[in-house]
Amino acid sequence: MTKIDIYSGFLGAGKTTLIKKMIKEAYHGQKIVLIENEFGEIGIDGGFLQEAGIQITEMNSGCICCSLVGDFGRALKKVIADYAPDRILIEPSGVGKLSDVIGAVRKALHMKRVGHAGTLDPMATGVLPIFIGRATRAAEFLESAEKEYIAGLCLGVVTDTQDTSGNILETHPVTATREAVQAALAQFLGPIEQIPPMYSAVKIGGQKLYELARKGKEIERKPRSITIHELELLEGEGTEFTLRVRCSKGTYVRTLCHDLGRALGCGGCMSALRRTRAGSFALSQAVTMQQVLEFAAEHDPQQLLMPVDAVFSAHPPLIVTMGQAAKLKNGAQVKDWQFSFGTYRVYAEDGEFLLLGRVENGVLTTIKSFFEVNTLAT
């Protein structure tokens, strides 16, 4: 069966360098097809690829995340049929989103049960939980969970995307001191209203804002309620600062940087972003795609999977008898006056994680069931 590796990231992130390293060190002896497009980082030396026995298929319908109905699906099926490769490497352009690439692979190859919890901005790196099989049923719970980021703030520059990847609209002298930046953070703590940026996936009238933005259009957007739980100035002087942000679902950190710059009177944008936590999953628990590939070359990659109940670690455990477990597996409720009110991770006596459940008036009902499923954080 052909394996597929997706190398995703913003322009300049080093995707091409990593691909070259993996071809040389990890993929030795494998039959490989590299799929990239004309907007990607076409910096891989042709001679190197020829010597390594790599077949290149180029597409010209644009970034694969934007042209999923174009020739991407056909190209993917064709290279499998024509070359029967051991592995396909996909390098989308720097504006590609991992979520759309995963969706394209799922659609083209009919791989249904692959999902993730929350997209990352093209500029962002860090924690992105990936769900496999029935564990995809848990993704919705993590999407609504709190997130934590380390962000770079660049003062004195305003761009159309609210980060340094966009076109510069304004520049201003920066007179704000570190103390002034620290003081300005307070007005963004707690529940606030935030206007989503034009370069975002928010839909208005059935159309995504970024699609309108790429056509040069800007429309009025209604503010949305978000919560900034923690906002800390870690370091910085002059025009460059580093922030730590713990926030609710739906928060745009680049908009936070934009609004902070406006509050300081000099404008600002986001210069870097790293997600350090998504719900219960921290960066220290994550593995990189390179680590996954290297591990899989010699070991069973299933060993990297985390149990799906880790998603619900904030809830206490509840142990039920094997008879009660059988009822729950059949979709029935379980009544036991010893059960206390609350939401629980429910386990059978033998240790099997069964479901996320809710107890009210001594009756345990299923919120979502999980039987022998796992999740992988990358």
* Whether residue 154 sits in one domain with residue 34: no
CATH classification of the domain holding 34: 3.40.50.300
* Whether residue 55 sits in one domain with residue 103: yes
* Whether residue 86 sits in one domain with residue 167: no
* Whether residue 191 sits in one domain with residue 229: yes
Q: For residue 267, what pLDDT is reported?
A: 95
* Total count of domains within the chain: 3
* Whether residue 369 sits in one domain with residue 268: no
* Whether residue 93 sits in one domain with residue 11: yes
Domain-located, residue 354 = yes
Q: For residue 57, what pLDDT is reported?
A: 55
Q: Which of 5, 100, 121, 163 is catalytic?
A: 121
Q: For residue 64, what pLDDT is reported?
A: 41
CATH classification of the domain holding 336: 2.30.130.10
CATH classification of the domain holding 165: 3.30.2350.10
Domain-located, residue 323 = yes
* Whether residue 82 sits in one domain with residue 40: yes
Domain-located, residue 300 = no
Domain-located, residue 286 = no
Q: For residue 37, what pLDDT is reported?
A: 52
* Whether residue 97 sits in one domain with residue 169: no
Q: For residue 116, what pLDDT is reported?
A: 53
Q: Range of 56's domain?
A: 1-110
Q: For residue 95, what pLDDT is reported?
A: 42
Domain-located, residue 60 = yes
Domain-located, residue 284 = no
Q: For residue 110, what pLDDT is reported?
A: 46
Domain-located, residue 26 = yes
* Whether residue 88 sits in one domain with residue 40: yes
* 121 touches 163 (CB < 8 A): yes
* Whether residue 312 sits in one domain with residue 273: no
* Whether residue 321 sits in one domain with residue 259: no
- The pLDDT profile of the chain, 378 residues, written as one tens digit per residue, is 788 877 765 444 456 667 777 777 777 778 888 776 543 333 444 444 445 555 555 544 444 444 333 456 666 777 788 888 888 887 665 444 555 545 544 554 344 555 555 667 767 788 888 777 777 888 888 888 899 999 999 999 999 889 888 889 999 999 999 999 999 999 999 999 999 888 777 888 788 887 888 888 888 889 999 999 999 999 999 999 999 999 998 899 999 999 999 999 999 999 989 999 998 889 998 887 667 767 777 877 777 788 889 999 989 999 999 999 999 998 899 998 889 999 999 999 999 999 999 999 999 999 999 875 444 554
Q: For residue 266, what pLDDT is reported?
A: 96
Catalytic status, residue 309: no
* Whether residue 313 sits in one domain with residue 272: no
Domain-located, residue 58 = yes
